[in-house]
């Protein structure tokens, strides 16, 4: 369930070294720090693939002692119903994660529908430029590498702006750097981008 850690404004910063915070996820970050204010002690956090929901949830769980449910849409209605009731009764936070909005969970239990509707909802926004740059930098820093400024500038103007695309490009640039024994530079960035089509799908082996 591991994901690239998430990345205020143009200078991304790490929260205790666990994930990065930019305008794209700053609101989520703030509310995770103030879980005592959540409606019925439950928050539903949605966001696209690879947007860092699991990473943020792990940090929240360690800090709050609350419970996190990943892929909440895959659980039975009765399971979520009982967890919601327990969180509300014990006043302990419950964080429900999903890539899908609640409207797409297929909830059939009326009592659960009303409880989820009354809960606090937040969505991780699309990645801003500070987020994208921060994610690339974090990915390569974890491998003892750096990505050049001109490579970042090149990708900024041409890549699909999504969390999953950052992940795909970072892995491809990493592989190319190993194959060619070169640093993560402009040439590597250009080569990596040619492996993906306009929808971000792989077009070369």
Question: Taking all residues of the chain, what is their mean pLDDT, rounded to a whole number?
Answer: 89
pLDDT digits (tens, 9 = 90+) for 60-79: 999 999 999 999 999 999 99
One domain, residues 39 and 58: yes
Any residues with CB less than 8 A from the CB of 195 and at least 6 apart, and which?
172, 202, 203, 204
One domain, residues 70 and 169: no
pLDDT digits (tens, 9 = 90+) for 85-105: 999 999 999 999 999 999 999
Helix, strand and coil content of the chain, in percent to the nearest 5, comes to 50, 15, 35
* Residue 34: pLDDT over 50: yes
- b (16+ CB within 10 A) / e for 6-26: bbeeeebeebeebbbbbbbbe
One domain, residues 117 and 133: no
Residue 5 DSSP class? P
Residue of 102, 126, 118, 107 whose CA lies nearest to 28: 126
* Residue 8: pLDDT over 60: no
One domain, residues 99 and 160: no
Question: Do the domain assignments include residue 201?
Answer: no
One domain, residues 76 and 167: no
Any residues with CB less than 8 A from the CB of 24 and at least 6 apart, and which?
6, 7, 124, 125, 126, 127, 128, 130, 131
Last residue of a domain, one of 123, 141, 174: 123
One domain, residues 178 and 96: no
One domain, residues 70 and 46: yes
One domain, residues 116 and 165: no
pLDDT digits (tens, 9 = 90+) for 144-176: 999 999 999 999 999 999 999 999 999 999 999
Question: Do the domain assignments include residue 1?
Answer: no
* Residue 49: pLDDT over 80: yes
One domain, residues 81 and 168: no
Q: What angle do CA 192, 127, 161 make, to 5 degrees?
A: 40
Q: Kind of pairing, strands 94-98 and 67-69?
A: parallel
* Residue 35: pLDDT over 50: yes
* Residue 14: pLDDT over 50: no
Lowest mean pLDDT among 14-18, 27-31, 33-37: 14-18
One domain, residues 69 and 84: yes
Last residue of a domain, one of 71, 88, 123: 123
CATH of the domain at 142: 1.10.8
Strand partners, 1: none
CA–CA distance, 4 with 139 (Å, rounded to integer): 8
Question: Do the domain assignments include residue 133?
Answer: yes
One domain, residues 22 and 100: yes
One domain, residues 73 and 116: yes
Q: Between 172 and 201, where is the model more confident?
A: 172
For 102-159, give the DSSP string: GGGS----HHHHHHHHHSEEEEPPPP-HHHHHHHHHHHHHTTT--B-HHHHHHHHHHS
How many structural domains does the chain have?
A: 2
Last residue of a domain, one of 123, 145, 179: 123
Residue 35 DSSP class? G
Q: Kind of pairing, strands 13-15 and 19-21?
A: antiparallel
Instruction: Give residue 7's pLDDT.
Output: 36
Mean pLDDT, residues 132-150 taken together: 95
CATH of the domain at 24: 3.40.50.300
Instruction: Give residue 121's pLDDT.
Output: 97
Instruction: Give residue 151's pLDDT.
Output: 97
Host domain of residue 144:
129-193
What's the predicted TM-score (pTM) here? 0.84
């Amino acid at each position: 369930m591991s994901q690239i850690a998430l990345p205020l404004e143009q200078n991304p910063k790490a929260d205790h070294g666990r994930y990065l915070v930019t305008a794209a996820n700053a609101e989520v970050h703030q509310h995770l720090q103030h879980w005592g204010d959540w409606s019925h002690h439950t928050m539903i956090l949605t966001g696209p693939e690879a947007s860092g929901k699991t990473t943020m949830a792990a940090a929240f769980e360690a800090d709050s002692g609350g419970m996190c449910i990943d892929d909440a849409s895959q659980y039975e209605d009765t399971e979520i119903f009982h967890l919601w009731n327990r969180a509300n009764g014990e006043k302990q936070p419950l964080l429900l994660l999903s890539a899908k909005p609640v409207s797409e969970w297929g909830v059939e239990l009326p009592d659960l529908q009303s409880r989820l509707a009354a809960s606090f909802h937040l969505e991780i926004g699309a990645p801003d430029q500070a987020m994208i740059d921060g994610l690339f930098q974090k990915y390569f820093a974890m491998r003892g590498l750096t990505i050049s400024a001109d490579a970042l500038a090149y990708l900024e103007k041409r890549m699909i702006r999504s969390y999953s695309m950052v992940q795909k490009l970072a892995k491809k640039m990493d592989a190319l750097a190993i194959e060619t024994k070169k640093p993560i530079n402009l040439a590597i960035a250009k080569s990596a981008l040619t492996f993906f089509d306009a929808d971000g799908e792989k077009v070369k082996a």
